[in-house]
Each structure stands twice: as structure tokens, then as C-alpha cells.
Homo-oligomer: A and B are copies of this chain.
Amino acid sequence: MSKNDSISMSVIRRLPRYYRFLTELDEQGIDRISSTKLAQIMSVTASQVRQDLNCFGGFGQQGYGYSVSQLKIEIETILGLNNSYKAIIIGVGNLGNALAQHMNFGQLGFELVGCFDISPEKVGREIRGLRIRHDSELEAFCSEKKLDAAFLCIPKSAVENVIDVLYRHGIRSYWNFSHFDICSKYSDAVVENVHLSDNLMTLCYRMNNSLG
């Protein structure tokens, strides 16, 4: 039973943020940092920093603090950013295209190996050096490559048919920008939802209720 059994999602979702701040400190040439100082920069408590890090191991040294470069690498390893999970984008409309162009998949544990769309105008065009394939090629592509994840940038109504194919080919991990509830259908799927309209509604609520 290793130490990182059953880390809470609260902790997990904070890891990328630690990673970002440590990367920054590292780039600034800073060697060591205390939990107090790091907490200050990140606007959290020192207790939380120490508790969070200790879920994964004792990376610090009493009386000294943490080595920035070392801690950065530790978190990189914990997150698994050294992986190259084979991923495809389904739907290269505005959003799918933006992700393809914008994200540094290589630094985030992924490798983009395919793009799919149903629009005949898009099929055949290139994006990030990948030829856009028609959805009808999806099944064959899945059989050929051993894919790990799919990034879904299609409307909700189109998701079910697509994930049925993907799931059948063993894909269990999804980055989902639609409102289709993947987990309800496939309970063992690993799903990260990005609900942009939910975010905007939340902003709207908070604007209404912020004093001033």
C-alpha cells in the first residue's frame, strides 16, 4: 500500500497549480523555498502546502524547506507529465481547432495523434501537421493505433455515438467539452469536464452578488 493511495480530488486538483508556481520559481533561478513562503505566493496556508505535499512523500527538509527544482520534478512525476498518452481530438470546429493549436500536449502528458471531423470541407486539411480525418475512419484508426484518450469538441447530441465507438475500442479517458454526461453511461470512464457556459454563468452570478 503506497502512500499515494486515495488522494482526495481536492488535493489532486491543486497539484497543477503547485507545478506552475514551482516552474516559475525555478525559472527565476530560486533554489529553495519554505512552505510559508510558497503559501504566501500562492495565497494559501502553509499547513495546506505541507499537508498536500506529504500525501506523496516527505520532499522537504527540516530547517531548510524544499528544493524548488527537485520538488518541481517530483510533482511532474506525480502528475505523470512524462507520459505520452496517445490522444485524438473529435471535432475541429472553433474550439477543437483552438485546442489543437494552443495546447502544449507534450508537456502535459499527451501526444496528439489524430483529428476527426464530419465536415467535408475540413477533412483533408492539416492541423498541427495532422491530416483531419473523417469520422468514418474513426473505427479503423482506433483499431490500428492504441489510443489512450479522446478530447471531445463536438455538440452534446453527437457525443453518444462517438464515445460508444471509442469505449468499445478500450478508450476510457475523456476530456469533455460537451454537456453529455459520460460517467452516467460509462461509470468506469475517467472524465474531465470543461463546461465553459457553466463558468460564465457562475461569473454572472458572482457579478450580481458582488457588492459595489
| Interface of A (DSSP majority class) | helix
Total identical chains:
2
A80: contacting residue among B79, B183, B204, CB under 8 A: B204
How many interface residues does chain A have, given as a range? 35 or more
Contacts of A101 in B (CB 8 A): 93-94
The answer to whether A200 touches B109 (Cβ under 8 A) is yes
Given known A97-B98, A201-B109, contact A83–B208 (CB-CB < 8 A): yes
In contact, A208 and B80 (Cβ under 8 angstroms): yes
A174-212 contacts to B (CB < 8 Å):
175, 179, 181, 183-184, 188, 190, 192, 194-210, 212
- Beyond A4-B209, A85-B207, A149-B203, 13 additional contacts (C-beta under 8 Å) are A7-B209, A12-B205, A15-B205, A19-B201, A79-B205, A79-B208, A98-B98, A108-B197, A173-B210, A188-B212, A190-B210, A192-B203, A192-B206
